[in-house]
Structure 1
Amino acid sequence: METDQDYPFAVANTAAALLDDAGTILAWTPAAEALLERRSTDVCGRPVRDLLADASSWGAVLARRTREGWEGQATLRHGSGRDLAIGFRVLPLHDGRRESAARCLVIGAPADLIAKWRQDHAFTQELFLQGRVGLAVFDGSLRLQRTNSHLLPFTGVPVDLAGRRLDDFLRAEDARAIDERLGEVLRSGTPLIAFNVVARTLDDPRGGRELSLSAFRLQGSEGRPMGVATVFTDVTDHVRASGRLELLYRATEAMSGSLSVMRTVEDLAGLLAPAFGDCAAVDLAETVLTGGEPPADGRHTLVLLRMAVAGADSGALRTGTAHVADVPTRPAPDVDPSAPDASAQDAPAPDVDPSAPDTLAQGTSAPDVPARDGQGVLIRLDQDAPTTASGAPPDWAGAVPGAHSAMAAPLYARGTMFGRLLLWRTGSRPALDEDDLDLLEEIANRSALAVDNARRFTKERRTALGLQRSLLPPATSERPAMETAGAYLPADSDSGVGGDWFDVIPLSSARVALVVGDVAGHGLHATAMMGRLRSAVRALADLDLEPEELLVHLDDLVLQVSAEADTWEAESGDGDIPVPSGPAGATCLYVVYDPVAQQCVMASAGHPPPAVVGPDGTVEYVELSPGPPLGVGGWPFETTERDLAPGSVLALYTDGLIERGEGDIDEGMRDLADRLVRAEVLERPLRQARHDIVSDLPPGRLSDDVTLLLGRTRVVPPDATATWQLEADPALVGRARHLVLEQLSRWELDELAFTTELVASELVTNAIRYAGGPVRLRLIRTDVLTCEVSDPSNTQPRMRRARTSEEGGRGLYLVAQLSHRWGSRYTREGKTVWSEQSLPLTDRLR
């Protein structure tokens, strides 16, 4: 048995006996007395073989005897009468004068205890010899006492670690973190399990490894703490792989959260830095921002705009700057890896404008070198390794001061490059490596799909939004009856453009109609439906229909559109291809304001009531009796009349302004009233006040479209109108002409006297001849001169072209030729035929 296994007997309580050369017991230790329960007075002077349980085994005990000593096992008789198996070792004692030992020392212990000691010794020895798990023993001052040969196999670790503290070779913060945890174990005795810590040496502060550390306290024979034993494993690769996987999941989640190109790249840059690098940037092709697609043939220089930056050193990277792509603009073809620079020889290099900002060195082209099968590029700026044809790193690599490594990966989707991801590391962080580049390429591949989806949505959204804005009237208008200003904010990109609209329609006799509507749903279908409804409202308003009658016709139109859509879907024959149907419902509020009577007439189809800001600054909502939304059918609509003082402000809106997902409608209406007061709509131009009302509703963050239409009422002065009641007597036509001429003379509109006299004569004559009853003749002077004749008949006048042989039938034809526009409208008392003539510029009311 090897000598290094003598240790089980080198303890204070091991039994021992001193024998002479005849095997007689000369001395007996107290530990031996306790082991066999035999007093020294009973055994001293007796042969040691008398202690054997079987005297015949004495020969076997002596069989392994040597001059240097021997060891073995024997069964002794215990003082209690039972047998006790022990292990023993015989140590000859030489005095230097005799060739044979005069005496010997026998030490022994129970056999099972010796077996356990030897197992512990073998276990400890093998632990310190293996290299897969690190071991270290610290004393009470946390100085290293013993380690296995593979402790921290990093650059800068001394060969002899005995007596050293961790901060002698580790960075101060790393050593302090470990010492604090080991000190806690030493004080409390509570083991430390799987504590992850970074260990970086003083010679290589940027490197380091991630260690999983476990520790337990060591105690002496008296129970006193004597040190700490630690077991540690290198989990760097596992931690980094887990971190990369988590980062990939987070990147995928961040990119799936929006359909906005800008928000997608901003979220992506914010995720990459600082989680992956110290600084990150995202460059996109110019056409992507407007929904366009970059060229995919790879033969064109791709100009990129820096759209998002993030990180501590991002100040050096300005957004909005132009760059030329110096990563491949298309995936490289498959090449033979044994052929040197095959991808560089086969891939055509696009022309690069050397005057463009951030281009490569003049005379080089992008890409300068083959880039990992047309994917990312890894640059180590702290190594003297040329990375371009000119022998220098590309310009983007050194864009961040203090960067020691950088990466770029193109955003490819469907064979088209949409941009690139850029990443830099600075300071003490480990340099980027090939595994990091693989991760960046995977993120770039997923990001490219997200950017492409957002680009496609941007294109569709711009189309829908452009269509919708083209269908809306000018935002502001000045009319004799009213000053108006409208505002429209589209819903966010995830909800899609909606079908909200507003309109300001000039009517006859200086009146004006205000319209606000909201089509159900979002997208192109809602926009198209909105266009149809607005056109229908315009056409119906041109007929001068009453508000409730106009809504009835509009309701019929929506029902017809819905029925046509259902029929078309049933007969489309597209098989399993789903064809989305347009929205079938809408709300609408139609308001007519008469500046002569200073009165509003309005009707609602499921739309919120308008707000009225009175001249005294009070805000109230008109009490309407709204009908059902358009498309329900079969229900009547009711009108509401409201007198308005000059200078009052009407506010028409859609539900997106009062709901916004923040509370109930009543709360939203109170909020709108407060906004109208704060915006000072009575004192300021409406084109300015409208912006303040919706200023805190950012476009692109709304769940529903927001539409607002403001109108400040004006009044036609009494001296700008003239009204006469005439009996149904043809002899009074001459008087009518005389009254018109006198009024035009007072208004100094003599140059319109002839045409107006003729128009009034024809209209009065027709009313007296065909309608009967009293006739009302009225002149209104605003920005146009209106001549209208009202009678009690409901017969619709029709203009026809008279034959040359006919004496009559030319009245309305003459009226149409002499007028700027003309028409008729039904009233509760009958009908009114009107004619408008443009005033000389100097005579128009302002």
Structure 2
Amino acid sequence: MGVSRAASGVPPAPLDGVIAAVIDGTGALAGWTREAAELLGYADADVIGRPARALVAPRPPRGERASGAPGGRVLALRRVDGACVDVWVRLLPMSGSAVLAWGLPVDVLTAWGDYTAMPRTVLEQDAWQVALVDRDLRLRRWSPAVRRAGRFSAGGRDLLCDMPMMDGGGTGADLLRQVMETGLPVVGAAGVLRAPRPDQSDLVYSLTAAPLYDLRGDISGAFTSLVDVTERYESGRRLNLVYRASRAGDELDIRRTAEGLVDTLVPALGDLAAVEISEAALQGAEPPLRVHGLRGDFRRIAAKHAHGAWPSDLVQVDEILPAVPDQPGFRELERGTVLVSNDLKNYLGFLGDVPQAARMVPRDLHASIGAALVAQGRVLGYVQVFRTRRPYAFTGHDAKLVKEIITRAALGIDNARRYTREHRVAETLQRSLLPPVSSSTAAAETAGIYLPPPGEVGVGGDWFDVIALSSLRTALVTGDVIGHGLKASTTMARLRTAVQTLADLDLAPDELLVRLDDLVQRMAAESDQPDTLGASVLYAVYDPVSRLCRLASAGHPPPVVVHPDGTTHVVDVLPGPPLGVGGVPFEVTEVSLPAGSVLAMFSDGLLDIVRRGRRDPVGPLADTEAAFAASLRGACRPGRPLREIGEELVDPERQAAERSDDITVLLARTRAVPGDSVAQWRFPPDPAAVAEAREVAVARLTAWGLHENVFATELVVSELVTNAVRYARGDIVLRLVRDRVLVCEVSDSSESQPRLRRAHNDDEGGRGLFLVAQVTTRWGSRYDASGKTIWTEQLIGAEHGPTEE
């Protein structure tokens, strides 16, 4: 196949434009060619037989046109119209005295000079390899660099033809045939010229090829130009490998970082690669400064084979490396030296030539390179790369590249180790601060579940709490601190402690949140990042006597209630702002909960999962809450343990890949105190009420069979009612509640603060509360809108009056 001369733009044939004339011995023009006549414009009759010198103008040729080719000279010939044309002329003697004058217009000669100067210059230079090949791919002409590179094979075939091409596959021969068949040049195609010996490196060349045309305009071969771009290619490859190794450390996970490292090394550098990490580093602890051999303290956590599965005869992933005695090479590794071994015996010698080392070396090993992962002067682990199928040695350039890759990978693994340590510390701290997952009080049976966020998100600030209050009541708390990590965990610890302290004061839910909001504002003022400090809290108090639950929310999701009959509803809690906003009051919501109701309190992390599972995840929040209520109703089957209900709601395995936040769920199945276990009386503020109160209290305890509690209760009632008569203005209320403990309450309209103090010998009073504290297990006081209540608790036998389930 060929391409036309017009289409290709090749130069004219060599004799195009040549003029010639014969001059006889007298100097007269004896004859000339048609091209000469057409160039000057004369008729033959006007010039034949006349002196040839008459056609030469007296002026010299113009400028650079005066320099023609060697062996002739440039003359200015006069045209018929008086103009002149510069022509290079050469005189050749003929037989006799005649002379043949022939030449070329300087314009044509210059064009031919340009066409011949470029290929001559290219073929004579010695900077890069240039050659011309024929259609059989045999070398026709070449630059000195081609001969120096030894590109000649048997029969003169160009070894370039055997070069594998990197883009699109094939060989150099395939590419050259494509150029000659299509007539289209190829620029900058990359190929690899394999090294003839294992101790030599492959070379990467940039190949440019163009079709070569003969004088008829047909493609007769190809022009090839090879430029060695090995260093540029290797620099780009090294940069890419180092970049990939650096990015592998972004995972903040030791195992995934190691897996990214072997993916970087194989197949780019070798056929196999493995990463071993010390057991201490895997746990987040400080790795050793020195390694005295392998003593079962390094684990292989990543491995890759370029040609299939990891060999079964080698140490497997998650397996401890076999014991290897200490060797001098370990000291070199600790100093950051990259060890290169291009001989199997040398590598076995480094391992001490012990039998167990055989499981660390591929059977068909040709070359190996290894280094220690060292960060902050500590040995995190080791990296090994092996060549088995490719019989090429590792070079110094490979060692430098591995050094750079390993240095960055070590920093990534050390960052992951530190993160692992911080994550575990934060998780341990948080779990240690949470209450037992299950509890049982007179008010409710409870179960709490906490799931930390997956992966590198970090431990969050969610928490739950169950706090026993006075008079058999129980406080239920869920909270969520903004952010993740140790800071969120420590903030959560401070808030949980504050809630427990404030709850012990028997504050109303709204008042407790106001006090907690003040604390968060003070914490924010002390923080270097005040805008990132905040929390949401839901605080509920359930009373098993009245069966009422009073709740207040600081920006927290509302709870869901499943009644014993299976009906479910989202509690309509009026949410206040999150803690830390300040200046906005909180509202209390009151809801009746029959015995056996399940109250579910949770963090917004659970709602996020429910929202993703809906067909319309961007719909109203109320729809998401309703969807969760439906899930809770389905999980709350009669008699099912709360722990199982909670695990079904959070389903950690299913949600691990979906959630990005931690999840807290607190479930409470309410109980109630039977009506016949509660007794209440009202007395006027009269001293005679003290004796009457003692009588009714003793009678009720006798009816309940609590004879062992009569003496202590009689003393408690006498002291508390006496104080109420002394300080109160309105009626006095005495209440006894029998459950796991005996509760005695005295309420009055006074807001005076009862204080326990030690009375001196000459004091007439001050011993009453001291005696009360001695005969009871707990006592305290609480306040409401109508006054205060002083309460006490006494232990009673388990057979007396259990709580209604």
Aligned equivalents of 1:722, 1:19: Cα separation in 2: 150
Which residue of 2 is the match for residue 739 of structure 1?
700
Report what 2:122 is aligned to: 127
Does the aligned pair in 2 maintain the 1:468–1:527 contact within 8 Å? Answer: yes
Cα displacement string for residues 91-119 of structure 1 (whole angstroms, at most 9, x for unaligned residues): 879xxxxxxx9999775433554455455
- 1:341 maps to none
Are the structure 2 counterparts of residues 387 and 215 from structure 1 closer, same or farther at C-alpha, using a change threshold of 3 Å? farther
Counterpart secondary structure, 2:301 = strand
Q: CA RMSD in A?
A: 4.9
Kindly indicate whether the alpha-carbon contact (under 8 Å) linking 2:290 and 2:334 is maintained by their aligned counterparts in 1. Answer: no
CA contact (8 A) 1:596 1:716 kept: yes
Of residues 561, 586, 598, the one that matches 1:612 is 561
Shift of 1:504: 0.8
Corresponding residue of 2:224: 230
Alignment match, 2:738: 780
Amino acid at match of 1:502: F
Distance 1:91 1:390 in 2: 91
Q: How far does residue 641 in structure 1 lie from its aligned partner after superposition?
A: 0.4
Tell me, yes or no, if structure 1 residue 462 matches structure 2 residue 424.
Answer: yes
CA shift for structure 1 position 211:
2.0
* Aligned equivalent of 1:750: none
Among candidates 296, 302, 317, match of residue 289 of structure 2: 296
Partner of 2:90: 88
The answer on 1:681 being equivalent to 2:641 is no
Find the partner of 1:833 among 776, 791, 794.
791
Q: Contact 2:347/2:368 (CA < 8 Å) preserved in 1?
A: no
Give the aligned partner of residue 713 of structure 1.
Answer: 669
The verdict on how the C-alpha distance between 1:184 and 1:666 changes in structure 2, with shifts beyond 3 A counting, is same
Other-structure match for 1:502: 464
Report how far residue 220 of structure 1 moved: 4.2
**8 A contact 1:139–1:227 mirrored in 2:** yes
TM-superposed CA distance for 1:682, in Å, is: 0.7
Classify the secondary structure of the residue corresponding to 1:764: helix
Counterparts of 1:195-274 in structure 2 under 5 Å?
Answer: 195-200=189-194, 208-221=202-215, 223-255=217-249, 257-274=250-267
Gaps in structure 1 of 5+ consecutive residues: 1-6, 58-69, 94-100, 324-355, 567-578, 745-752
Aligned twin of 2:67: none
Shift of 1:239: 0.8
Match of 2:170 among 176, 189, 199: 176
Q: 1:386 to 1:542 in 2, by over 3 A?
A: closer
Write the letter of the residue equivalent to 1:682: C
Once the 2 structures are TM-superposed, how far is the Cα of residue 515 of structure 1 from its aligned partner?
Answer: 1.0
1:439 matched to which residue of 2? Answer: 401
Aligned length: 758
Match of 2:778?
821
Any conservation in 1 of the 2:759–2:765 contact (CA below 8 Å)? yes
**TM-score (norm. length: structure 2):** 0.78
Which position in structure 2 is the counterpart of 1:318? 316
Closer/same/farther in 2, CA of residues 727 and 233 from structure 1, 3 Å limit? same
Supply the AA of the counterpart residue of 1:413: A
Give 1:754's aligned residue: 707
Deviation, 1:367, is 0.9
Equivalent residues in 2 for 1:22-37, closer than 5 Å: none
Match of 1:516 in 2: 478
1:38-82 Cα offsets, whole Å, 9 max, x none, are 7889888x6996687389x9xxxxxxxxxxxx9433638566364
Q: State yes or no: 1:595 paired with 2:544.
A: yes
Shift in alpha-carbon separation, 1:406–1:808, aligned structure 2, 3 A:
same
What is the rounded CA distance, in whole Å, between the counterparts of 1:172 and 1:499 in structure 2? 53
Shift of 1:787: 3.0
Q: Following the alignment from structure 2 to structure 1, what is the Cα–Cα distance between the partners of residues 149 and 708?
A: 105
Task: Write the letter of the residue equivalent to 2:282.
Answer: L
Correspondence list, 1:99-178, <5 A: 108-111=103-106, 113-114=108-109, 116-118=111-113, 120-139=115-134, 145-148=140-143, 150-151=145-146, 158=153, 160-162=155-157, 176=170, 178=172
CA distance in 1 between counterparts of 2:582 and 2:85 reads 109
Residue 281 (structure 1) aligns with: 274
Return the alpha-carbon distance in structure 1 between the equivalents of residues 359 and 405 of structure 2.
19
1:75–1:86 Cα contact (<8 Å) kept: yes
Distance 1:168 1:803, change over 3 A: closer
Paired position in structure 2 for 1:351? none
* Distance 1:191-1:465 versus aligned 2 partners, 3 A rule: same
Amino acid at match of 2:87: A
Matched residue type, 2:123: F
Out of 56, 71, 89, the position equivalent to 1:53 is 56
Q: How far apart in 2 are the matches of 1:802 and 1:580? A: 50
Per the alignment, in what secondary structure is the counterpart of residue 624 of structure 1?
coil
What code does the residue aligned with 1:217 have?
P
Cα-to-partner distance string for 1:217-268 (whole Å, 9 max, x where unaligned): 334455444443222212122111122123323433443x354444444444
Counterpart of 1:348 in structure 2 is: none
Contact 1:606-1:628 at 8 Å conserved across structures: yes
Aligned to 1:63: none
- The answer to whether the aligner puts 1:771 opposite 2:729 as a matched pair is no
TM-score by length of 1: 0.74
- Give the corresponding residue for 1:75: 75
The letter for the 2-side match of 1:599 is L
TM-superposed deviation, 1:390: 5.9
Mapped pair 1:452 → 2:414? yes
Are the structure 2 counterparts of residues 33 and 159 from structure 1 closer, same or farther at C-alpha, using a change threshold of 3 Å? farther
For residues 121-166 of structure 1, the C-alpha deviation after alignment (integer angstroms, 9 at most, x for no partner) is: 454244234343222334457666544454497789615435x796
Alignment of 1:502-581 (within 5 A): 502-559=464-521, 565=526
Partner Cα separation in structure 1 for residue 125 and residue 334 of structure 2? 39
Change (3 A) 1:156 1:372: farther
Aligned to 1:649: 598
What is the one-letter code of the residue matched to 2:668? Answer: R
Q: Give the conservation status (yes or no) of the 8 Å contact 2:257–2:412.
A: yes
The answer to whether the 8 A contact 1:269-1:308 is kept is yes
Structure 2 equivalent of residue 343 of structure 1: none
- Is the CA contact 1:482–1:712 (under 8 Å) kept in the aligned structure 2? yes
Deviation at 1:408, TM superposition (A): 1.6
- Provide the rounded CA distance (Å) in 2 between the counterparts of 1:385 and 1:116: 66
Shift of 1:87: 3.8
The answer to whether structure 1 residue 621 and structure 2 residue 582 are counterparts is no
Structure 2 Cα separation of the partners of residues 453 and 196 of structure 1: 39
Indicate conservation of the 8 Å contact 2:446/2:667, yes or no.
yes
CA distance in 2, matches of 1:9, 1:519: 88
Query: Structure 2 regions of 5+ residues with no counterpart?
Result: 1-10, 61-69, 726-730
Change in Cα spacing, 1:391 to 1:310, as seen in structure 2 (3 Å) is closer
Structure 2 residue identity aligned to 1:535: T
Match of 1:640 in 2: 589
User: 2:728 aligns to what?
Assistant: none
Relative distance call for 1:444 and 1:485 in structure 2 (3 A) is same
Deviation at 1:474, TM superposition (A): 1.6
For 2:570 and 2:492, the matched residues in 1 are separated by 26
Whether the 8 Å contact between 2:275 and 2:301 is mirrored in structure 1 is yes
| 3-state SS of 1:443 partner | helix
